[in-house]
A and B are shown apart, each in its own frame.
Chain A
Amino acid sequence: MHVLTGFVRFWYDFIIGDDWMIAAAVAITLVILALLAHAAPWFLLPVVVILALGFSLWRATR
């Protein structure tokens, strides 16, 4: 069990790192885009990326 949790924690730190909210924002946006498929607005993900990055930086520096 200890090995399993260590393995999961390693990959969590490796990919997601310090701020899980960025990963959550990206995941939610991709789900929305996938549901909308070809009707999805192309600018949605870049806008979410910029806002999520800015919000994360603000949280890290306040």
Chain B
Amino acid sequence: MSGAFLVLASFLASAVEGVEALTIVLAAGVTRGWRSTFVGLGAALVILAIITAILGPALTVIPIDALRLVVGGLLLVFGLQWLRKAILRASGYKATHDEAAIYQRELAAAQSSDRVTRAGLDWYAFTLSFKGVLLEGLEVIFIVVTFGATAHQVGLAALGAAIALVLVVAIGVAVHQPLTRVPENVLKFAVGLLLSSFGTFWAAEGAGVRWPGSDAAILGILAVLAVISFLYVAVLRRQYEARELQTAA
């Protein structure tokens, strides 16, 4: 059961970050050329693969209780960060991620930047693509490694991430534009819920807590956290709309 959630969380998180990275790569490639952009992309992917190859096995040698306490705690804090922002976006207090606007902004910046060549590469395209993919990829790696190591299934987590990235790239190549129709906040909400629920379960278990129903408690935590999160969205949305009406009046 946790295997299915593991693949799902990795898949969804990777899809979200993949879409954001695709926007940056597309902007660089369309304005500055694809060769330098792809070299930057490839360099970032190599570094991300090395980090995963080192961290994944390294984390599994740590005693499981200590691993679950620390890594579970990190996962919980990270997941709550995603969930908090998703709730604020869903209720209107925070602007949703506008992939089209970000693409236009990156296009304009790339078009106006000077052409500097280093090692035969358009340096702006290389660094933009490299930094964009590396930063977005680090979030994926964090989720894959922490979630996977705590469940002792890093390979499965990496599989979910790989499927998502292949899908995003394939669709991006097919449509040749940023993927603006992806319901990013819905995906981030789901990932935030999954990471927070599993983080809560594992961190507490690492501290010595005995959950009623053992692994089945994860479903209970997920269900309760989902209901509470939807309640928070409903309350905040009503509050936001009331304030907007007051401001308009």
Contact = CB atoms under 8 A, between A and B. Distances in A.
A61 B239 contact: yes
Contacts of A15: 74, 77-78, 81, 142
A49 B87 contact: no
A42 interface: yes
Interface string B79-103: 0110111011001010000000000
The interface residues of chain A, by DSSP majority, are classed as helix
Given A16-B77, A49-B225, 10 more contacts: A14-B139, A18-B81, A23-B77, A26-B80, A27-B73, A30-B204, A40-B207, A40-B208, A42-B209, A45-B204
Interface of B: 69, 73-74, 76-78, 80-81, 83-85, 87-88, 91, 93, 138-139, 142, 196, 200, 203-204, 207-212, 217, 221, 224-225, 228-229, 232, 236, 239-240
Interface of A: 14-19, 22-23, 26-27, 30, 33-34, 36-38, 40-42, 44-46, 49-50, 52-54, 56-57, 60-61
25 contacts: A14-B78, A14-B139, A15-B74, A16-B77, A17-B84, A18-B84, A19-B81, A22-B81, A23-B77, A26-B203, A30-B207, A33-B208, A36-B208, A38-B209, A40-B204, A49-B80, A50-B224, A50-B228, A53-B87, A53-B229, A57-B88, A57-B232, A61-B88, A61-B91, A61-B240
